[in-house]
């Protein structure tokens, strides 16, 4: 601003427009003079996400396909429940991890999302929450497309803008980052003493099972992950959640439940049981209700907190594991 012949305080005004008022063009910055706005337009460019397509589910879930300035597509989801409105956001264009049950895993990873693109997803989903439900977002989950910890720097920078007093000022305790299990980066989260919640997509209790479902396990096996998660907890005292999709005939036995209890005795974690949502690229089936209830009862009888996450938006391919720009 000084180099442009302006007062230094103008910089703070522009910053507030970008990170607190979510202005995506200079003409919206109405407390700047027309001359200054013209100078800004001449020297700088803003590259906001735009909504390319919006779909509404019969259960009220809203899926959005966002378009980046360079033409890539990523998806986000607004998930309304009785007393919370959650934004499920993406961290990468595509994904490189090839998890066999996840539609995004069958896409090629194109690039990482920038901090402002992560921020924009939240802004746009919050606008939809206000439009359809007259409510603000209450929670953010990084459970969309991509592996957040393989875009570590940008994800943390995006969360910083979402939680900072001079940003959106959201509580980090209302943000959950889900990882397929990158042990080195889980340790770094602990070293950086992050304040948000961490979820591990577990889905299996033996390395053989997990290798088949999630190839990343071959370099980040269960023992390595247990050590990393305990490092994270020692450094942050942050809540850890094991996400566990129950697959028919694969990971739903009482022996699996016993091993899951053992893991929860080694790591301070609660369990989120997830219903499998079918995708065209795979032939898995969800666990039958009787077997699911038996599995959960065993966990609860052995002192493990287990909740069932209801699938939302299945009819528009917006549920867990279904995001593939359809």
- Please give the positions annotated as active site: 75, 320
What is the crossing angle of helices 254-266 and 222-236, to 10°? Answer: 40
Distance between CA atoms of 227 and 219, rounded to whole angstroms?
Answer: 14
CA angle, 113 then 86 then 319, to 5°:
75
**Under 8 Å between Cβ of 279 and 323:** no
Distance between CA atoms of 157 and 196, rounded to whole angstroms?
Answer: 13
Query: In this structure, what token pair is assigned to residue 302?
Result: 């052995």
* Helix, strand, or coil (residue 246): strand
Cβ neighbour number for residue 21 with a 10 Å cutoff: 11
**Under 8 Å between Cβ of 148 and 177:** yes
Query: In this structure, what token pair is assigned to residue 53?
Result: 């397509």
Quick one: DSSP state of residue 316? G
Quick one: DSSP state of residue 301? H
Query: In this structure, what token pair is assigned to residue 109?
Result: 């990873």
Distances (CA, A) of 66 to 54, 223, 294, 322: 9, 38, 40, 16
Question: What is the residue whose two structure tokens read 């606008």?
Answer: 127
């Amino acid at each position: 601003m000084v180099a442009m012949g302006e007062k230094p305080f103008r910089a703070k005004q522009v910053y507030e427009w970008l990170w607190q008022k979510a202005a995506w063009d200079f003409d919206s910055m109405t407390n700047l003079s027309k001359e200054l706005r013209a100078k800004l337009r001449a020297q700088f460019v803003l590259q906001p996400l735009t909504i390319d397509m919006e779909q509404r589910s019969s259960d009220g879930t809203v899926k959005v396909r966002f378009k980046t300035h360079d033409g890539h597509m990523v998806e986000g989801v607004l998930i309304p429940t009785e007393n919370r409105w959650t934004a499920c956001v993406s961290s990468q264009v595509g994904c490189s991890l090839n998890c066999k049950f996840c539609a995004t895993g069958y896409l090629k990873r194109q690039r990482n999302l920038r901090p402002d693109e992560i921020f924009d997803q939240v802004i746009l989903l919050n606008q939809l929450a206000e439009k359809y439900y007259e409510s603000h977002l209450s929670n953010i989950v990084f459970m969309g497309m991509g592996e957040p910890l393989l875009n570590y720097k940008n994800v943390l920078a995006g969360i910083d803008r979402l939680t900072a007093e001079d940003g959106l000022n959201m509580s980090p305790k209302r943000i959950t980052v889900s990882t397929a299990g990158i042990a080195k980066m889980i340790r770094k989260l602990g070293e950086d003493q992050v304040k948000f919640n961490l979820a591990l997509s577990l889905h299996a209790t033996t390395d053989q099972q997990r290798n088949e479902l999630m190839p990343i396990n071959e370099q980040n096996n269960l023992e390595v992950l247990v050590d990393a998660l305990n490092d994270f907890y020692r450094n942050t005292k942050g809540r850890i959640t094991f996400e566990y999709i129950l697959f028919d005939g694969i990971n739903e036995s009482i022996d699996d439940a016993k091993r899951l209890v053992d893991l929860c005795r080694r790591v301070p974690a609660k369990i989120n049981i997830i219903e499998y949502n079918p995708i065209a690229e795979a032939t898995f089936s969800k666990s039958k209700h009787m077997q699911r209830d038996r599995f959960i009862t065993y966990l609860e009888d052995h002192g493990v907190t287990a909740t069932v996450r209801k699938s939302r938006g299945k009819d528009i391919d917006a549920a867990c594991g279904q995001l593939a720009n359809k």
